[in-house]
Amino acid sequence: MTTQLQAARDGKLTDAMAAAARAEERDPREVLAEISSGRAVLPSNPGHGGVRAMAAGRAFRTKVNANIGVSPENSSVGKELCKLTEALDAGADFVMDLSVGADLADIRRRMLDACPLPLGTVPVYEALARCGGQVADLTERDLLTVVAEHASQGVDFMTIHAGLLREHLPMAARRKLGIVSRGGAILARWMMLAGGRENPFLTHWDEIMDICAAHDVTVSLGDGLRPGCLADAGDDAQFGELDVLGRLVRRCRDRGVQVMVEGPGHVAIDQIPMQVARQQAVCDAAPFYVLGPLVTDVAVGYDHIACAIGSTVAAMHGACLLCYVTPAEHLGLPTVQDVRDGVAACRIAAHAADVGRGLPGARRRDDAMATARAALDWEGQFAQALDGATARKRFAEANKNRDGEDDHCSMCGRDFCAVRASRALKELIQ
């Protein structure tokens, strides 16, 4: 199979590249160039029928990913499919299925069938589930088998935690919070129990490349040592893993496999520009996919806001795909409403960053909103809002006693409405 990266290097514009160019309102040749250079990825497994072309890269609109997935304690596939519907309606661009437990192949098939967006997975979760959660029983062949099955089912991108090495474990043990990545913790324990063996994802990297190239699966290099608190950000463990990821980026590109790199985590706001710049330098400008960063550790219950603050800064400085955080982060499995709130927060961050970095056309929507507000055109405002359904609902609830009057809202009332006064002023001056 010819992957998107191989086709781009050959100067061949694929249907997916052309569709992504239309969605971005860009010249198709620019999409081809960004894919060819590795500065952008276009996850599109041919086995995922009808998947929407979605480019993630610095040259394009900042994208948002929503994580969903079945938990063995408090969920069901039906509930997670409802969350998928909510994420789609809220405007997510990518989705990851982080399901754990039983019947994962069937769950994944149902997710793929219902999801028109690029869908990602974390194979190590299922590999461990098949061993009954017993890390000691997990084999290297188990991991490769699961990677191959996910690829053949149609998964568009996979998180592979191949940069976490045995030499990093003592560094992680000195941290305040240790390893907070679920995948990273599984592999760290496996290496501790494996009698001196190295991370199996790394030692079998060539086989993983064979699988990904055969199905055009985009690799998302997992940050198994991402900092889980401000105190651990920027330590030797995090940056030691990042150096390995940089080498793996080059190995992916050498094989014609698209690759992006996952990033932190919890990072103080003043450190985010340095973190992004370091990733871009070490990883040869590979697309940066960030979880937050969360700029404080004490926003429990409001971590989607802490995430949005950090995401805006990260996207201003080089990140191109934002993984949402919901209000339930650090507390439990998110609800359907949490999913919507998480997507909304990250979409605001993504859009604010695109406007701030001067992305062509990014401010068009804001200018249209200003025009609608000046005209007290409520329908026009709902149409331009990032979440028009929520805006409409709040407007109806806040103004239910207005008797149909549309020339003000309940915040100031008719006589104190600054917009009405400004319109009258313009009429007098003109």
What is residue 424's predicted lDDT score, i.e. its pLDDT? 81
Tokens of 253: 């590109």
What is residue 264's predicted lDDT score, i.e. its pLDDT? 95
- Is there a contact between 56 and 41 (Cβ–Cβ < 8 Å)? yes
Q: What CA–CA distance (Å, rounded) separates 238 from 234?
A: 6
Tokens of 3: 């992957």
What is residue 42's predicted lDDT score, i.e. its pLDDT? 98
Rounded average pLDDT per 10-residue block, the chain, 430 residues: 96 97 96 98 97 97 97 87 97 97 93 98 97 95 98 98 98 98 97 94 98 98 98 98 98 98 97 98 98 97 98 98 98 96 98 97 97 93 96 90 74 83 82
Q: What CA–CA distance (Å, rounded) separates 368 from 390?
A: 18
What is residue 291's predicted lDDT score, i.e. its pLDDT? 96
What is residue 269's predicted lDDT score, i.e. its pLDDT? 98
CA 238 to chain centre: 19
What is residue 403's predicted lDDT score, i.e. its pLDDT? 64
